[in-house]
Amino acid sequence: MARSWGTVPLLVLVLSTWWIRCLALSVDEDGKEVMRREDASLAGYLGVFFLGADPYVYFYLSNGNNPLSLKALNRGAPVMKPTKGTGGVRDPTIVPGGARRLGRSGTLLGPTCILGSGNEHVADAKTLQTTWDAAQRTGSRGIFIWESTDLINWVNERFVVVEDATAGMVWAPEAIWDPAKGQYLVHWASKFYPTSDSRHTGSPSNIRIRYAYTSDFKTFSSPQTLIDKAPTNIIDLNFLPLDDPSSPTQTNFLRFMKDETKKTVFVEVSTTGLFGSWTRPGGNDAIIQSGVEGPTSYRDNTDAKKVHLLLDHYGADGYRPYESVNPANNGNAWTASSRSAWPANLRHGSILPVNATLYEALRKKWG
């Protein structure tokens, strides 16, 4: 959850960490499978973010396949502004359609979505000002959703409430295709108050990760708890699938998250599926970085083994890029990437790899 608390809207760009791509197997020196190479047709990256005090959706396009060089689209103006709620959104994530896959030509196989957090309770509807406390007690309990079949025309804006009145907020929604279920697993962070405390003035639960299933991003199953590390507060969950998207079995995943109690980001690993056994490399105190939030991961379009991770330095200049060829680890497996061509002040969002057709369409429309 990005926290520039002059404004507090939540955006649900359901295009987030879904890596829709055709991959070829990559093998390390010992013959062990480590990652899969991206489709050679991929030509760049689309970034979707909000900008601190501006709770809208901004698009950025890479300089070709350079994952660390982004340029603002639409002359730096937002591509999407919510018309519902209090008119603000944050933490956008882009979720590719077609069950997380791109065709071999790189075309989208189904509607792509952008998900975002809705505005928190605001003290001033004109400036969208709020407080950190109010954002957690009487924040938005829903998710913004937009749809597109071409990444250019975004339609069917809607705001879907996913938690009941006991929830203090719904933060940083993202989605991942669950091949075992055959549906999208949508997740977010919430805390809860007793039913007797309808005004949410008392002490809440810890913040935990919640989830629901959907096939169309219109109707959702009843929410359940996915991650609860009580008494620790956990927010900003981001998944990275490691298996070939065309495989009928998907069992290897990474999940990045923020320990909101200690203000650190760490990674966990599962080789047994989304609901399998998760371990934290390096132990319970191992971290990637402190004083950061909003982790979002994406694979390199040309380097088979490299994974990129954006971490929001919310007390400074926003997202900074990190990289690793051994991403299933905490600590010194991650190094800071070059920021010579990286824009400052990007806040919690996501990155989607795109093929040449989509890349050119985005450039012509907003470049």
DSSP string computed for 271-328: SS-TTS-EE-TT-TT--SEES-EEEEEEE-SS-TT-EEEEEEETTTTEEEEEEESS-S
Helices (H), the chain: 97-100, 132-137, 356-366
Q: How far is it, in rounded angstroms, from Cα 105 to Cα 215?
A: 24
What is the DSSP annotation of 197-208?
-TT--S-----E
DSSP letter at 166 equals T
Q: How far is it, in rounded angstroms, from Cα 227 to Cα 60?
A: 31
Does any domain span residue 4? no
Per-residue pLDDT, 175 = 96
The shares of helix, strand and coil residues in the chain, as percent rounded to the nearest 5, are 5, 45, 50
Per-residue pLDDT, 304 = 81
Per-residue pLDDT, 120 = 53
Q: How far is it, in rounded angstroms, from Cα 48 to Cα 348?
A: 9
Does any domain span residue 1? no
- Token duo for residue 178: 């669950």
Does any domain span residue 271? yes
Per-residue pLDDT, 248 = 74
Of 219, 206, 130, nearest to 168 by C-alpha is 206
Q: How far is it, in rounded angstroms, from Cα 224 to Cα 141?
A: 14
Coil, strand or helix: which one is 127?
Answer: coil
Categorise residue 317: left if φ over 0, alpha if ψ from -120 to 50, beta otherwise. Answer: alpha
Q: How far is it, in rounded angstroms, from Cα 357 to Cα 107?
A: 8
Strand partners, 93: 115
Does any domain span residue 3? no
- Which residues of the chain carry a pLDDT beneath 70? 1-39, 98-110, 119-130
Domain count, the chain: 1
Per-residue pLDDT, 130 = 66
Tokens 């975002």, residue located: 116
Tell me the pairing of strands 335-336 and 224-227: unpaired
Does any domain span residue 7? no
Per-residue pLDDT, 52 = 80
List CB contacts of 76: < 8 A, sequence separation 6 or more.
Answer: 58
Per-residue pLDDT, 53 = 78
pTM for the whole thing? 0.87
Quote the domain boundaries for residue 148.
12-366
Per-residue pLDDT, 39 = 65
CA angle 194-197-201, nearest 5°? 115
Tokens 């590390």, residue located: 229
Rg of the chain in Å (alpha carbons): 19
Q: What CATH number is given to the structural domain containing 135? A: 2.115.10
